[in-house]
Structure formats: C-alpha cells, structure tokens
Amino acid sequence: MELENKLRILADSAKYDASCASSGSRRSAELGALGNTAACGVCHSYTPDGRCVSLLKILLTNFCIYDCVFCVNRSSSDIPRARFTPEEVVRLTIDFYKRNYIEGLFLSSGIIQSPDYTMEQLITVARTLRQEHRFNGYIHLKTIPGCAPELLHQAATFADRLSANIELPTRADLEKLAPEKNSAVIENAMEQVSSEISSSKEERQKTKTAPVLAPAGQSTQMVIGATPSTDAEILAKSSHLYASYRLRRVYYSAFSPFPKADARLPIAAPPLVREHRLYEADWLIRYYGFSVGELTTTEQPNLDAKIDPKLGWALRHREYFPVDVNSAPREQLLRVPGLGYRNVMRVLSIRRYHRLSLDDLRRLRVSLRRCKPFVITSDHSPSVTVLDSPRLSAKAVAPEQLTLFEAAAGAAVGQL
C-alpha cells in the first residue's frame, strides 16, 4: 500500500483519541539537533481554545487482536486496515517537520501479536527520532498495558508524555464492552509509569545529569456515553486516578456511534454539553477544592446540562452565601460562581491596598451576572430575598450559554 493511503487510513483511525495535548515539557533547540518543545506546548502552535494542533497524530496500525465493542478498530470491524513500519513513521515525522506542518508526534497503535511486541515497535520510532535524527520535538506515546516494565522505562526515556487509556469508568463497563482488557492491568501500567517519573525526579535532585523521564507526565482517556455509568461514577474514577498515579489529565471523549455497531452500544451519541460539564467538574476537583460528593448527589448523580457544576453547588448551598470579597479566605472565594482561579488571586492581591467594588470586579472581567447575587463588595450587598429566590438560577445563567453546544449538536446530526 502506498504511504499516502496508509497515512489517510491511520490518521483517520487515530481521531477518536482525544488525549493528545502537549503541555508540560521543555526541550531546547540545540546546535545540530532538530526541533524544540516549549514548556507550554509544541512550539507555541495553538487553536483558539488553547489546544496545540501541530502534532502528527497517527496509529502505527489499526489492526488489533482485541475486539472492544466500542472501538471502531476492533478485530471484528470491516474498516480498511493499514500498518506503518517504524521507519515510515520516522520519515513522515521528519518530512512533515521540515515542511513546517507539524512540531511533534502523537503515536498510538492497535495491539498486534502481543503487548510487548507492539510497545517495542512504538519505542523504536521514538528511539530512532531521538538518537539518529536528534529530534527534540514533542513525542507522545501510548503505553500498552501488560507490556514488560523495562519497556515502560524505555518509553519514558524517549517520550515527553505517556498515556494508557482507562477506556471506561467502571470495571463492570470494561467487562461488558472490552472483556479482553483488565482495569487492574491498565492501572498497573499507570503505577509503573508514575514510579518511573518519581524515581527520575529523585535522581535529578541528586544529580542534574540524570535523565528526565516523561517530563510531561502521563494522561488517560475515558469514553463516556457508551454505557449507563453516571457522571458521579466517572468523576469518582478520575479522582482515584489523579490521587493514585498523579496523572496530568483525564480526557473525556463522548462516544461516537459508527455504522454496523454492536447492539450493546447506544444508537445516539451523548450530548456534547455532557463532555463539557465533566471537564468543568474535573477542573473544580483538581484546582478549586471540590469533591465528587459536592458536585453530584445521590438524587442527581449526573451533572446538570443547563448550569455549570459550580453554580449548581452554589444553588444547593445558598446558606454559604453571600461571600465578602474583601475579607473571605481564598477557599471561600474559589466557590463563588463567576470567580475564576486567576481572578481570585487578583482579588486577594488588590484588596491588600483598597476595598473592592463592583466596578473593580467588572474591570477584572468577572461575570457580574453570575457573581453579583453571591458576593458582598464595598458598594453592594445582596438581600436575603435574592438568594432565596427560585429565579436565582435563571438570573445567573446567561441565555446564550448553551448556544454553541446546540449548534454543534445540530451540525453533527446534519453530518450523519
């Protein structure tokens, strides 16, 4: 098969993997070397929403010995198949880089022969790029759960980031839709990578010449909407992974229906806003001090599609408000709807010199529509009737908040 046709097939097969962001690594340009990686991404190439797009994102092969029901590349699928050799991937990466098309490589693969064999093929690509071509650009490798520990060490030596997809939120989900995969094996791979990264940091403290292993850490991806698992279960799994293996990021990928799918899969894709709400809740857990139990309840295990999780929590805990922006501690300010992490830091800094008013918040570009009912400033104090009003939710939510998701969903339906 011609290289161009392989590229078309294997780039298309890789589009379902969302965990390809490239932040967190730094490799400087060197004399005689090729490329560099900035700490905040791949050579400063970003989409308007902050994601880097200049990665060659492909599979080594879409042949696979596993038959995961939700995966379009499963062994029983009748899609066109192709396979790159490691040398072909290296050549594509170098050629695309020299043409200024890409600044890095995201390489995954279906499982062929065995986990060890597949991992060795991926490592060969990264090793060749680093050692023979002195490529300093960003490399993200998918780890293959079940491969030998020494292979994970080699992968961490050459790659900026590693990722092993957890695939589905619960063990029961995995047993139902991917019985050949084991959540314990997947998490064991994450634990090994985490241990390699920790050991590398300890060695670096002793000697600066020690190698840096996977400087951008590790991430994972979870398919949502393929099973009935609730948002509470999804977020509980993510919290466990962050706490246990120090993951940089969990990516949530809404299930995409495909032709001739198994009857166990849903016919329709989940609404895009669900994926968005999960990312919002994930951010609140990681940076704002919220727990899963605060963002979802036994009665409502799924996040509200109409309002963001932070506002949802505030409406369920009106007794917590109003919060005085001129005296409240950081932890309280972070729970105010409309006050983001950076603006909380700015508020804490500014109030050392003078008391903040609504105009001050407006100059900080705080969303007063969302924030005003929940805060006290030098010139504003909401009445109890405002906080108790059943219309508070409608007042705090901008009417255009869901417009983008509705438009995207309509466009997706039109493409089916």
Per-residue pLDDT for 14 more than 90? Answer: no
Q: What is the pLDDT of residues 370-404, one digit of tens each?
A: 899 999 999 999 876 677 777 776 666 655 454 44
**What's the domain count of the chain?**
2
Q: Identify the weakest region by mean pLDDT among 200-204, 230-234, 311-315, 403-407.
A: 403-407
For residue 103, what pLDDT is reported? 82
Q: Identify the weakest region by mean pLDDT among 7-21, 35-49, 178-192.
A: 35-49
Name the pTM for this structure.
0.84
Averaged pLDDT, 285-296: 95
Shared domain for 290 and 355, answered yes or no, is no
For residue 397, what pLDDT is reported? 66
> Does residue 136 belong to any structural domain of this protein?
yes
Listed in order, strand segments (DSSP E) in 363-409 are 375-376
Shared domain for 86 and 175, answered yes or no, is yes
Per-residue pLDDT for 298 more than 70? Answer: yes
Shared domain for 116 and 199, answered yes or no, is yes
Averaged pLDDT, 269-292: 94
> In this prediction, what percent of the chain has a pLDDT beyond 90?
64
For residue 19, what pLDDT is reported? 64
Shared domain for 285 and 359, answered yes or no, is no
405/388 Cα distance (integer angstroms): 30
The CATH number of the domain holding residue 73 is: 3.20.20.70
> Does residue 172 belong to any structural domain of this protein?
yes
Shared domain for 85 and 214, answered yes or no, is yes
Q: What is the pLDDT of residues 330-353, one digit of tens each?
A: 999 999 999 999 999 999 999 999
Averaged pLDDT, 104-126: 95
Per-residue pLDDT for 3 more than 80? Answer: yes
Averaged pLDDT, 216-231: 93
> Does residue 216 belong to any structural domain of this protein?
yes
For residue 141, what pLDDT is reported? 95
For residue 30, what pLDDT is reported? 58
Averaged pLDDT, 209-223: 91
Q: What is the pLDDT of residues 300-319, one digit of tens each?
A: 999 999 999 999 999 999 99
Question: What is the band of 412 on the pLDDT scale with cuts at 50, 70, 90?
Answer: very low
Shared domain for 101 and 7, answered yes or no, is yes
Which DSSP symbol is given to 212?
A: P
Question: What is the band of 120 on the pLDDT scale with cuts at 50, 70, 90?
Answer: very high
Residue type, 284: L
Per-residue pLDDT for 4 more than 50? Answer: yes
Q: What is the pLDDT of residues 355-370, one digit of tens each?
A: 999 999 999 999 898 8
Cis, peptide link before residue 322, omega less than 30° from 0: yes
Per-residue pLDDT for 16 more than 90? Answer: no
Shared domain for 283 and 370, answered yes or no, is no
Work out whether the CA dihedral 115, 119, 121, 122 comes out positive or negative: positive
Residues in contact with 23: Cβ distance below 8 Å, sequence separation at least 6, in sequence order: 39, 40, 41, 52, 216
Shared domain for 215 and 255, answered yes or no, is yes
State which of 242, 273, 295 marks the end of a domain.
295
For residue 36, what pLDDT is reported? 52
For residue 83, what pLDDT is reported? 95
Work out whether the CA dihedral 57, 60, 62, 66 comes out positive or negative: negative
225 against 48, higher pLDDT: 225
Shared domain for 189 and 331, answered yes or no, is no
357/206 Cα distance (integer angstroms): 50
State which of 295, 318, 353 marks the end of a domain.
295
> Does residue 16 belong to any structural domain of this protein?
yes
Q: Identify the weakest region by mean pLDDT among 8-17, 42-51, 188-197, 394-403.
A: 42-51
Shared domain for 201 and 232, answered yes or no, is yes
> Does residue 134 belong to any structural domain of this protein?
yes
Question: What is the band of 235 on the pLDDT scale with cuts at 50, 70, 90?
Answer: very high
| Boundaries of domain holding 174 | 3-295
Shared domain for 289 and 313, answered yes or no, is no
> Does residue 413 belong to any structural domain of this protein?
no
> In this prediction, what percent of the chain has a pLDDT beyond 70?
85
219/20 Cα distance (integer angstroms): 9
Shared domain for 86 and 207, answered yes or no, is yes
> Does residue 81 belong to any structural domain of this protein?
yes
> Does residue 302 belong to any structural domain of this protein?
no
State which of 261, 295, 329 marks the end of a domain.
295
DSSP 333-369: HTTSTT--HHHHHHHHHHTTTS---HHHHHHTT--HH
298/358 Cα distance (integer angstroms): 37
